[in-house]
Structure 1
Amino acid sequence: MPLIRPRSSAGIALITILLLLVYLWTSSTSITSPTTPSPPLWRTPDYESYFWTTLPINYPPKEIRPLPTSSPLKFPKIQSPPPSESPSALKTRLSRQAAIKSVFSKCWASYKRHAWKADELAPVSGSRKNPFGGWAATLVDSLDTLWLMGMKPEFDEAVAAASSIDFTTTDLAEVNVFETTIRYLGGFLSAHDLSGDARLLRKAVEVGEMLYRAFDTPNRMPITRWDIHAAMAGKKQVAPAGLLVAEIGSLSMEFTRLSMLTRDPKWFDAVQHITEGMASQQNSTALPGLWPLVVSAQDQVFNVGDAFTLGAMADSVYEYLPKMSALTGGQLPIYREMYEAAMAAALKHNLFRPMTPTNEDILVSGSVKAENGVVTLDPQGQHLVCFLGGLLTLGGKLFGRQQDLDAARRLVDGCVWTYKALPRGIMPETFYMLPCPSSTCAWDEQSWKKGVLDRAKKNADEASLPDADAVIARDRLPKGFTSIPDRRYILRPEAIESVFVSYRATADPSLVEAAWDMFTAINATTSTRLANSAVWDVTLPMDKDAGMADSMESFWMGETLKYFYLVFADWDEVSLDEWVFNTEAHPLRRLLP
């Protein structure tokens, strides 16, 4: 029924004339309007002439699978309700957050002054280093941190500088595709997702076009340590026969997000090809559910080998399984299936409860060997494997796996305990502990000392060894540790990463205090006149020199300080129910229903 009914034929005629005029006007405008949609903002006129888009492909894919089009799933919430906060607690939180921002600002100012557009600042000497292509790794890694910390003028200046990075030239003979993906591609995508700045998506596309050429092999498997100059010259290349599983299995998030944003599925197709190969062989390894440390891209063999770890050189291949589910809204069930199979094996074989003098109910993740059906645990802990507590928290929440959540908290507590156990309050790079017997876990001083001596015998001439007490004194071993082979702290983020994720999932205030203790301990030991430096020996007491290594990798500003800052941020700042972090702590928007 019309809202206004004409009262005469003259009214009807007038309305008819008006409708005719509107029709003629809209018709004329449609004729002069473009008949095809405008190109996306990232696709500039220079795109077609960009070197990496013009370089011929020697082995084009036979077909490119499209992005999934099913409706995203509604996952359970990851974050708990926000904790209550008194005025005094709010004041404390904001002052701590400001202290962390102050450290970042100091590092950023020194990087700008001494190493602008280099990969890294040397934080003691003030010199510059270029281990990641010379494409300003610290600058790109820090873009989203600048945004999150509200440093908008610095962010704008950094984006302008990043826009001029030339990904067609480098002094490196070989490019690490994994590191380039997580730092550069992940950095640009995250900063774009946060800010909406189209320039950042353009740079992500430039990096993506370059990295796509690393897949130009007969079987479309990537060359992870890539002779980029041979590729630029158009030479045919072959994927390697032996490579680390993390380097081939940890490209999925960034490549998929790039395809989601550009609607060009070629990047998604490239990494999904890897995923399907790994999934098909996951349960035929010597330790079904886990992949061996070294695999073959050339032969597409992912199930031959006897060493299995969730630590260094394998970590992010497992990390990306639930994160890909979150990123894509659960449209690809294969990632949940792979995660659940992997964690079933890891919880059974890799995790152990160490004997501690206070009988802490904690877990550490070690490595295992599987030979002839016999699985042997190597109880080496790593700072890097502290990411696992956060991963299991995420997977446990997404997929409703209480066993994962139980193990996750004990792993997080294990990393916090290890920080506190060292004299400087900082965990070393690697260490050994004594696994508890299956029946009990009461502290036994003599068993610990025997473990110290047994570990020492593996690394020295038995006849020349002192007794256990002498080894403990010589190696400065806190009670519970049987060996600390790598005493460095290299500004790693993994422990605070899991504390952050666990805090958002539980709202447990003890985690906030643990985070603050970790930050103050790290800054007290690593602070230099210019920034912060990796140190050689965290087993030394505070009155001794830990030895500055004059190294500050880009992850210090891109990951470690970002996670510390977010622990003390507002509860909904980068909510884990809306964002998912890549392995370089770059938050990417999740696909939500």
Structure 2
Amino acid sequence: MRTLSLHRRSALALAGGGLFAGLAPLPAFAKSEDWAALGADVKAEFKWAWDHYVEKAWGKDEINPVSGTSQSFFIQGHDLGLSLVEALDTLWIMELDEEFQAGVDWVKANLSFDIDGYAQVFETNIRLVGGLLSAFLACEDRVLLEKAQDLADRLLKAFDASPHGLPYRYVNLKTGAVRDPETNLAEIGTYITEFGVLGELTGDERYFAAAKKAMMHALNMRSPIGLMAANIHAETGQFISRNASIDVYADSFYEYLWDAWELFGDEELKLAAEECLKAMIDHQGKRYEGLLWFPMVDYETGEVTNTSQTVLGAYLAGLLGQAGFKAEGDDFLKTYETMQARFLIVPESTDVTTAQPRTLRTGLRPEVADAALNLWQHDRNDRYRAITATHYRNMKASSKAAYGYTALRDISTRPMTQGDNCPGYWWSEQMKYYFIMFAEPKRIDIERLVLSTEANVLRGFVRSS
């Protein structure tokens, strides 16, 4: 999610002995840092990794940077150029124009979605539909828009198959057949930014309407304390768990409520975003050993049901800041800053009661940088840049392999034990967050910038005439 143009209201004034009381003002950090030089370093590392992708995995979904091999992501044996599509707008922002054009040319010549295989609707939308749209907005080559629309039309079949307009998890891209109705908030509610922009560009209102209908179905089932269960059934339309979650199964649903306001001025979803975030603060925010966490709770009672929190949850710090809950956002980011200081790489999953890792592997996660970027936009305090600089340098020290950057198998070893995969989102997300925050690139208007949950630029490009 990553919307940066802020329509903000005053942060909650929680006085006295409340959960968020007594927060010290954020200090200025790292005044001696040469941010432009750090941005140049990010660009150099991105270009280095891109050259290896071109050499070892051109047109493949993901590169395995240790072995120099590749792997499919959506449909085994049918690569859709995932990393290439995800990288396009980052290449453009970094003014790597030859590399950008080579990628666009590959898409125009090779990318087809007429495949008899099941693709995950949510992932396909945020990664490929979003990636194609942002590339189109960068260069205005209509073939990119046509391919985005073709893919979105195939994904709409998953919405149409449900009596409630809740998309099934998987759709056959060729036949339109669907499967897996047991789904979740993230997978039914992370479409409105990409579908809405597509609708504006094509004049077709079906996309926005389908996305909003699915979101409203879930929102209308909120409990009396304002929470939703994370898991839902596309056929019955009913919740199939009692767990309210801010991260796994739910995260980008909440991001896209606010994005609908930022991009399209949807007042109804803006109000829903504020109400949902207030309910999270009131019923999920818990302190353990001085750190603020948002563990899973029963959506009707607020009772804690699971004491794990993933690194994915860091996004919420930025979203809270965007929606006017700045103090709470800073407080939650402090939790992840503490985890970063302790472990260098934030654990994939943490037991909130002990602040100890539940797993030692991690997947090159971008959410801490995402949150820091959103909060930095609020007041340009270099504290957020400093947190992000540490995030970048720790990634560079631990994940750089022979042919790119890789996920890690064990963050507790020294040196950390590397895995052998670069997830597609690495090309779209953290490297873009780093570059925007450090370099302040001339092709981005930060005040207008709206990023999708996959960090695809959906508003805010600056194009020369």
> Residue 382 of structure 1 aligns to which amino acid in structure 2?
T
Which region of structure 1 is more displaced relative to structure 2, 118-127 or 507-516? 507-516
CA contact (8 A) 1:368 1:375 kept: yes
Cα deviation, 1:138-160, whole Å, max 9, x if unaligned, reads 00101110011110110011111
Tell me the CA shift for residue 274 of structure 1. 1.1
Q: Does residue 1:574 correspond to 2:444, yes or no?
A: yes
Offset at residue 551 of structure 1 (A): 1.0
In the superposition, the TM-score normalised over structure 1's length comes to 0.69
Q: Deviations over 1:477-535 (max 9, x none)?
A: xxx63x32111221111000011111121211122222212211111111101101101
Q: 1:486 aligns with which of 349, 352, 359?
A: 359
Q: Which residue of 1 aligns with 2:348?
A: 429
Deviation at 1:174, TM superposition (A): 2.1
The one-letter amino acid of 1:108's match is: W
Given the alignment of the two structures, is residue 254 of structure 1 paired with residue 194 of structure 2, yes or no? Answer: yes
> Would the aligned equivalents of 1:245 and 1:294 in 2 still touch at CA under 8 Å?
yes
Which AA in structure 2 matches 1:365? F
- In the alignment, the residues of structure 1 paired with residue 275 and residue 201 of structure 2 have an alpha-carbon distance, to the nearest angstrom, of 30
Give how far 1:272 is off: 2.1
**TM-fit CA distance, 1:240:** 4.9
Judged with a 3 Å threshold, the aligned counterparts in structure 2 of structure 1 residues 497 and 374 are, in CA distance, closer, same or farther, namely closer
Asked whether the 8 Å contact 1:119–1:129 carries over to 2, the reply is yes
Equivalent position amino acid for 1:368 in 2: V
| Match of residue 198, structure 1, among 138, 142, 149 | 142
Q: Secondary structure at the match of 2:410?
A: coil
Partner of 1:179: 123
Task: Give the distance between the partners of 2:120 and 2:346, measured in 1 at CA.
Answer: 27
Relative distance call for 1:569 and 1:74 in structure 2 (3 A) is closer
Q: Does 1:164 align with 2:164?
A: no
Instruction: Give the CA deviation at 1:282.
Output: 2.2
- On the 8 A contact 2:113/2:151 being kept in 1, the answer is no
Q: 1:367 aligns with which of 287, 296, 309?
A: 296
Are 1:324 and 2:254 counterparts?
A: no
Given candidates 278, 281, 293, the residue that maps to 2:230 is 293
Is residue 223–residue 299 contact of structure 2 (8 Å, CA) maintained in 1? no
**SS of equivalent residue, structure 1 residue 487:** coil
Secondary structure, aligned partner of 1:552: coil
**Correspondence 1:508 to 2:415:** no
* Letter of the 2:337 counterpart: V
| Alignment correspondent of 1:408 | 329
Once the two structures are overlaid, the 10-residue window that deviates more, 382-391 or 199-208, is 199-208
Matched, 1:189 2:117: no
Q: Distance between the aligned counterparts of 2:6 and 2:56, measured in 1?
A: 47
Q: Using the alignment, how far apart are the partners of 1:325 and 1:510 within structure 2? A: 28
The question of 1:343 aligning with 2:277 is answered: yes
1:243 is aligned to: 183
Cα deviation digits, residues 286-338 of structure 1 (max 9, x gap): xx322212101112225x5311110111101111111110010x2x2220121
Which amino acid in 2 is paired with 1:387? Y
- In the superposition, relative to structure 1, how do residues 76 and 347 fare at CA in structure 2: closer, same or farther (>3 Å)? closer
- Displacement of 1:577 in angstroms is 3.3
Alpha-carbon distance between aligned partners in 1 of 2:313 and 2:29, rounded to the nearest angstrom = 32
Is the counterpart of residue 534 in structure 1 residue 407 in structure 2? yes
Specify the code of the residue in structure 2 equivalent to 1:433.
Answer: V
Give, in angstroms, the shift of residue 433 of structure 1. 3.2
The more displaced of 270-279 and 409-418 is 270-279
Task: Determine if contact 1:174/1:225 at 8 Å carries over to the other structure.
Answer: no
Choose which of 275, 278, 290 in structure 1 pairs with 2:218. 278
Distance 2:405 2:431 in 1: 11
Deviation at 1:571, TM superposition (A): 7.5
The structural deviation recorded for 1:421 is 1.0
What is residue 42 of structure 2 aligned with on the other side? 100
The AA in structure 2 aligned to 1:249 is: G
User: 5+ unaligned residues in a row in structure 1: which ranges?
Assistant: 1-72, 79-83, 357-361, 397-403, 435-479
Are residues 1:110 and 2:18 paired?
no
Q: Any conservation in 1 of the 2:158–2:176 contact (CA below 8 Å)? A: no
1:552 Cα offset (Å): 0.7
Does residue 82 of structure 2 align to residue 140 of structure 1? no
| Offset of residue 247 of structure 1 | 0.3
* Structure 2 residue 34 is matched with structure 1 residue 129: no
Once the two structures are TM-superposed, the CA of residue 253 in structure 1 deviates from its matched residue by 1.1
Structure 2 CA distance for partners of 1:518 and 1:76, relative to 1, 3 Å: closer
For the 8 Å contact 1:574–1:587, the answer to whether it is kept is no
Q: Do the aligned residues in 1 keep the contact of 2:8 with 2:323 (CA within 8 Å)?
A: no
Tell me the SS of whatever aligns to 2:298: strand
Distance 1:524 1:187, change over 3 A: same
String of CA shifts for 1:181-210, please: whole Å, max 9, x gaps.
Answer: 000011111122233332321221122222
User: How many Å apart are 1:126 and its aligned residue?
Assistant: 0.9
Q: Which amino acid aligns with 1:354?
A: Y
Tell me the equivalent position of 2:457.
587
Judging changes above 3 Å, is the alpha-carbon distance between structure 1 residues 564 and 233 closer, same or farther for their aligned structure 2 residues? closer
- For the 8 Å contact 1:167–1:206, the answer to whether it is kept is no
Question: 2:95, 2:441 → 1: CA distance?
Answer: 16
Kindly report the root-mean-square deviation, in angstroms, between the aligned alpha carbons of the 2 structures.
2.7
Query: TM-score, length-normalised on structure 2?
Result: 0.87
Larger Rg: 1
SS in 2 for 1:363: strand
* Match status 1:208 vs 2:142: no
Question: What is the identity, as a one-letter code, of the residue corresponding to 1:177?
Answer: V
Q: In percent, how many aligned pairs have the same letter?
A: 25
Displacement of 1:165? 3.7
Matched with 2:17 is: none
Relative to structure 1, the CA distance from residue 267 to residue 539 in structure 2 (aligned partners, 3 Å threshold; closer, same or farther) is same
Amino acid of the residue matched to residue 426 of structure 1?
I
